Structure 1
């Protein structure tokens, strides 16, 4: 049996083993044999960036001094590059293998607002090859690399991004307009430059289609906002203790990495930061994210694996991950899978996390054309408060209403572009305050299937809305809604 649509506007009602099409079961799993990530190790040899002339005055451009320190340590077989206390202005930093870039307490790497320092390069935008400005911190094909300490990495993101008047207070808006830049013709959006405005209003593409190189995008360079930290195809990566903030686009973006650890970091972006994701773990294998605090402008901890045909050809799922003991404040979602998940995601465990004031709690999203299989996702001991929208959310019609997806295939047939979400188990979920407890909307041709939710207490304005699902099981679920709640139409 497959349910097509079901509304459950439940007030003060406890469920015990309410099951839809329960002929199947989710595959057994264990919280005792969890995924592990190998840790990098470094020689104790330490070089301070001041040894190569770096100045902590917040004005001197220290790019060359930092790179000289990295090169010297790398040539000696690796070790620690120390950033002492101070305000260190710099251009983009390119990491090397066997380097631990260590930021002392009260050390801030502040990336220059001079955009000429950032070269146009081949990168990725939302899962597809695209022209981008060079990331403030990047590394490709590295092994044994880390950014550690108690310092701050600041991307100076406000000089890169547009902002709508409605997203700021009156005082902030006046300050933004006075800072320079240009306004949209209706006066309601601020752009960093005329070049940015033109690219945005004309909806120019940044994608690297056949025959195009990054140099072909020079006339829209200012529009190509960089992700703050990007490690591409690296092994044994560690980010620990550092605050990463104010990114122009995504903040932390490990791509096609293996053995990744993100521990005790803080990620901060303003609420108005467009694409201001906290962590986007894309096509990575064996990873640990623990003890982190995020307060961002978009999705917080997000699992991705490429977009549409390009992602399917890459064929690299994000897999074998443990996400535990994290706190998320502002963000579009606390733990998120998608929407660029065309390579798939599997064997991911989320435990003992708190979401405070996010738009959604557990968020899963995709759309026809993506393809990919998302399966074996397990979450337990998740605590939420003041969730603006849904506490648990599945939607396979994500972004369909927007013009950019207006031509997307809407046929109800199974093909390589059909996304599959299945085999998940959520338990011990508590939410005090949400607009809706649970929202599930699958596809007619591919229902969301084999989802177990048990031992849950959710206080919400409305209960559940379920469309196109198969074997969605609720066990010992207590939903608390207003006594006169109505079904969501």
Structure 2
């Protein structure tokens, strides 16, 4: 009898173990991802799948790059879903297809050598209601899309290509003369001033029907079909999904943004190579919008716009949604070309909070750490912890807070004017439309070869609040500028500024500077300016001849500066 019970026990245990092994095709998140995290962060739930797999080739797919396999992908996904979940295998080959809709309990797995290439035929992408750039709008359906799906993944080592060159307008100023001539000879339509190329006449009409480049607001919704080619989709759209994993593949050449999780939770983005041409309009890498409980680690980005960007809706649409991006860890990522390495905004009207960013490297990125917003947004960005960031050859600002963002690229393009984002000193009433940035902590920051060490700027009516920069080495042409900021702490910060003062403070208060070192360059190292400036504290030990190394503006209040 004992032997019988023992056998039953062993068989049961073996069955449980087998079940666990079959369900566990997904590598767990290692504990070190959660180590050193300052925020209260729940463990992110990964998807899991039964050990069941089908190949798209079993449903008639042909990997020759010529036959369209949209139906085969759909049938393979349906087969897996109806059986209770599993993997849809994409083997080696070039698999041309229209849109792919992911459904619950599906893992789209790209084997080595697999290239999923999305069709250039705009008719494959019907118009759908969605959200883009934080606004409720209509766009073409995304090449990869999921709505209210649970337990989904895209894994493997293959490549997903959105054929974005078929969709994107291109500015002449972003190309060499040879590249531009080749593009124009390929077909398409030029803008009236000959400075922008459009793939079709519909695309051009969409551009001329818009005041903000991306959402046609000068025509009615009934007319959107006439500008359909202009309504470029994000490549991967995951809306209201739960337990999402993207692990391993290369995502490249997206029509607009590359990867866009929206209003989703338990999202893991890891081990990806995210690429777009540097000239790609709206060629963001990852836009995490109104999501909670997410991990972003071990990825590489080389894109045409912002790399890792957190958003939560724009203006009234974002405030009505009221869903912040929250509880996110960003670790061990490398960014090459991008407008910003780690970015918050500008569409942050629902808020961004409880974020940890560490151990990232930005190489030649236009801006390293980029925070942007403007009057009208509303929303609160708070409790952001950033540490151990290395940056090199940042052409503009290693750290930038800009509350007058108007859409300009960090490196101005031919059709952009710095005056569009000029600071307006007029104080306007604080309302729900006033953005707030507060409680942002940065430490162990190293940047060499930058244009500007750091730029902190709030609004005259709503200061940038409680920002701390500690243990930083910033080597740049220009030093640190502080405007409309309340509660800035600079501790153990070394600035090597080639052309300007190491630190300039204007119309700010409660600024505490200690352990501040700088190199002499013929300019006054520290300047304190502005009639609204108050409670600025410097450490006498940081200066050899403080009366010569610190200058005060003529309109500075008498007791605004304190030397301890």
Report if TM-score (shorter chain) is over 0.5.
yes
5+ unaligned residues in a row in structure 1: which ranges? 1-28
User: Hey, what's the Cα distance between the residues in 2 that align with 1:285 and 1:32?
Assistant: 13
Cα distance change on mapping 1:355 and 1:86 into 2, 3 Å: same
Structure 1 residue ranges (4+ consecutive) displaced by more than 6 angstroms after TM superposition: 400-406, 486-489
2:342/2:370 contact within 8 Å kept: yes
Q: Is the 8 A contact 2:405 2:421 kept in 1?
A: no
Which residue of 257, 277, 285 corresponds with 1:270?
277
Secondary structure of 2:68's counterpart equals coil
CA spacing shift, 1:76–1:335, aligned 2, 3 Å: same
**Equivalent residue, structure 2, for 1:287:** 294
More helix as a share of residues: 2
Cα 1:402–1:308 shift into 2, 3 Å: farther
Describe the shift of the 1:476–1:204 C-alpha distance in structure 2 as closer, same or farther (beyond 3 A): closer
Is residue 2:74 matched to residue 1:67? yes
Q: Given that residues 362 and 368 in structure 2 are in contact (C-alpha distance below 8 angstroms), is that contact kept between their aligned partners in structure 1?
A: yes
Q: Give the distance between the partners of 1:452 and 1:273, measured in 2 at CA.
A: 34
Q: Deviations over 1:162-182 (max 9, x none)?
A: 112221122221221121101
Query: How do residues 413-432 of structure 1 correspond to structure 2 at under 5 angstroms?
Result: 413-432=429-448
- TM-score scaled to structure 2, two decimals? 0.78
User: What residue is the counterpart of 2:316 in the other structure?
Assistant: 309
Structure 1 residues 32 and 464, CA, compared in 2 at 3 Å: closer, same or farther?
closer
Which of these residues, 455, 459, 462, is aligned with residue 443 of structure 1?
459
Partner residue in 2 for 1:10: none
* Structure 2 segments unaligned to the other structure (5+ residues): 1-35, 408-416, 499-520, 530-564
Pair 1:124-2:131 in alignment:
yes
Pairing of 1:25-44 with structure 2 (within 5 A): 31=38, 34-44=41-51
Q: How many angstroms apart in 1 are the aligned matches of 2:426 and 2:148?
A: 39
Shift of 1:44: 1.2
Structure with larger Rg: 2
Task: Report the TM-score, using the length of structure 1 for normalisation.
Answer: 0.90
3-state DSSP of counterpart to 2:180: helix
For residue 387 of structure 1, give the secondary structure of its aligned residue in structure 2.
coil
Distance 1:165 1:391, change over 3 A: same
1:111 equivalent among 115, 118, 121:
118
Match of 1:200 among 207, 228, 233: 207
1:441–1:403 CA distance, 2 compared to 1 (3 A): closer
| Aligned mates of 1:223, 1:72 — CA distance in 2 | 34
Give, in whole Å, the separation in 1 of the partners of 2:388 and 2:356: 11
With 345-354 and 35-44 compared, the bigger mean Cα shift is at: 35-44
Measured on the aligned residues, the alpha-carbon RMSD in Å equals: 2.3
Q: What pairs with 1:85-234 in structure 2 (closer than 5 Å)?
A: 85-203=92-210, 216-234=223-241
**May I ask how many residue pairs the two structures share in their alignment?**
458
Q: Report the equivalent of 1:18.
A: none
Rounded Cα–Cα distance in structure 1 between residues aligned with 2:475 and 2:215: 43
Partner residue, 2:483: 467
Task: Map Cα deviations across residues 16-40 of structure 1 (whole Å, 9 max, x no partner).
Answer: xxxxxxxxxxxxx954865531100
